[in-house]
């Protein structure tokens, strides 16, 4: 019988991000895309604490109407919904901002 190993941290993160997407996308019964209402719900719930950090610039104004402007920029095919690749562009942008903020926090680190 094949041995089933535990997921690694990377695998766990990938599965969790998809589960979060499906959780919010499924609020209207169709879990393949985020509607405007679902996107607002996701932003105001899942990315709340990022507002109070150095990542605020990236998520600027995400609680006011301009969050929908952000959604428009992410909505590459302009169908008024965010599919998985479009959603992941947001996650990727946040991750890059997160990495940059880590680097700024250790400006004196000496690379060898």
Binding site for its own copies (CB under 8 A): 2, 5-18, 20-22, 29-30, 32, 42, 45-50, 52, 84-85, 88-89, 91-92, 94-96, 98-99, 102-103, 111-112
Nearer to its own copies, 23 or 36 (CB): 23
Nearer to its own copies, 2 or 57 (CB): 2
Rounded least distance, CB 58 to its own copies, Å: 11
Nearer to its own copies, 64 or 106 (CB): 106
Rounded least distance, CB 52 to its own copies, Å: 7
| Contact predicate 41/24, CB 8 Å | yes
Give the number of other CB atoms < 10 A from CB of residue 58: 19
Where are any strands of DSSP class E within 30-102?
none
Judged by DSSP in three states, 34 sits in strand
Rounded least distance, CB 62 to its own copies, Å: 13
Rounded least distance, CB 73 to its own copies, Å: 17
3-state helix vs strand vs coil in the chain, percent to 5: 60, 0, 35
In a 10 Å sphere around its CB, with 0-12 CB exposed, 13-18 middle and 19+ buried, how is residue 84 labelled? middle
Token duo for residue 56: 């605020």
């Amino acid at each position: 019988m094949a041995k089933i190993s535990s997921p690694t941290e990377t695998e766990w993160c990938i599965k969790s991000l998809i589960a979060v997407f499906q959780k919010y996308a499924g609020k209207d019964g169709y879990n393949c895309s985020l509607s405007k209402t679902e996107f607002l719900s996701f932003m105001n719930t899942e990315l709340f604490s990022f507002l109070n950090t150095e990542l605020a610039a990236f998520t600027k104004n995400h609680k006011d109407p301009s969050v929908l402007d952000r959604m428009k920029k992410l909505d590459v095919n302009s169908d008024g919904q965010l599919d998985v690749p479009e959603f992941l562009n947001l996650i990727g942008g946040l991750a890059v901002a997160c990495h940059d903020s880590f680097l700024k926090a250790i400006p004196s680190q000496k690379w060898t």
